[in-house]
Amino acid sequence: MTVRLLVTDLDNTAWDWVEAWYHPFVAMMGRVAAITGVPHTELYRSAQIVFRRHGTSEYAFVLEEMPCLLEHYGGVVHLDELRPAIEAYRETRERVLVLYPGVVETLATLREAGCQIVAYTESLSYYARTRVFRTGLAPLLDRLYSPPDHDLPDHRERYDSAYDDRAAASLDRRETPEGQLKPSTKILQGILDDFGVSPQETVYVGDSLMKDIHMAQSVGVHDVHASYGCRHDDDAYELLRRVTHWTDEDMERQQRIRSMGAVRPTYVAAGGFSDVLDVIEEVSGQGARAPGW
Ligand SMILES: [Mg+2]
């Protein structure tokens, strides 16, 4: 059996999302605290209000909506004064948002062998495609599936001047229906239909046992657990939990998924993304690096 399609999760599968979220956020809030004198606890509490309002913990325009900053500035946040904080965010992000080792080489090898590559993420489209371009992943993807954006302020270029809409247009993208979340199988099944491949011809890789692996097994594709991307509790995760946009309803949903029982992956990529090649070699029954498998 030939593997014709690789579907990959992105956050903590292609790059370390927690690191890429944490360091820029902390750098930005540190500067905001220094400039305004508003304590960190109050800033974090305010940030969570905004994140919940927009349903994402990476809302890029958080500063101008934070209640404690609106109060500090008397109604309109002075972004010019906070520019060093926005710069700190950008500079830090440039440093920490990088692909895991082996991602580029692995995907390039697969493409050369005729395997199509699809990314399927639950990160909102704007953030997903920005990361896909910033990391250099875009040219290696045949398509990106991600949920539709929330309403973005039309002055986003103030924050993200390097972001290029024309580049984004070169990426084949599909928006996933709102409210359809992993481990629901509808979207993954739809991806297989879009590409005209069977589950046996498809490999799925992702870091979440409860979402990625459970979903992949339900559809019957070959599942690979990106265990190298799993985060253990640490300062970064703790802060994320503290300011997260997750609502009580989201937490209950997580609980429900957990109660479905232990999920055992069929294959484990412990060493890194390139372990996917070994899996494909195994399920193909011949050398993945040999031409024409
Ligand atoms: Mg993930």
Q: What is the pLDDT of residues 193-212, one digit of tens each?
A: 999 999 999 999 999 998 99
Same domain, residue pair 184 and 277: yes
Structural domain that includes position 208: 5-16+100-284
Co-location of 43 and 123 in the same domain: no
Would residue 292 count as lying in a domain?
Answer: no
- 234 in the same domain as 169: yes
**What separation in Å is there between the alpha carbon of 9 and the centre of ligand 1?**
6
Last-in-domain residue among 95, 121, 137: 95
Domain end residue (candidates: 95, 115, 136): 95
Same domain, 88 and 118: no
Counted domains in the chain: 2
Q: Give the tens place of pLDDT for each residue, 118-171.
A: 999 999 888 898 899 999 999 999 999 999 886 666 555 444 544 556 566 788
- Where residue 143 sits, what CATH number does that domain have? 3.40.50.1000
Residue 293 inside a domain? The answer is no
50 and 120 share one domain: no
Whether 124 and 228 map to the same domain: the answer is yes
Asked if residue 270 is part of any domain, the answer here is: yes
The per-residue pLDDT for 56 is 84
Question: Residue 289 domain-assigned?
Answer: no
Q: Specify if 290 maps to a domain.
A: no
Claim to verify: residue 46 and residue 175 sit in the same structural domain: no
Residue where a domain terminates, one of 75, 95, 115: 95
Give residue 83 CA to ligand 1 midpoint distance, Å.
Answer: 31
From ligand 1's centre to the CA of 215, what distance in Å? 13
State if pTM tops 0.85. Answer: yes
Distance from Cα 36 to the centre of ligand 1, integer Å: 35
| Token pair 């993304």 in the structure block, residue | 273
Give, rounded to a whole angstrom, the gap between the first and last alpha carbons of the chain. 9
How many Å lie between the centroid of ligand 1 and the Cα of residue 208? 6
Whether residues 86 and 181 share a domain: the answer is: no
User: Which stretches of the chain score pLDDT less than 70?
Assistant: 1, 150-168, 232-233, 260, 286-293
Question: Ligand 1 center to residue 265 CA distance, Å?
Answer: 15
Examine the domain organization and report whether 192 and 215 are in the same domain: yes
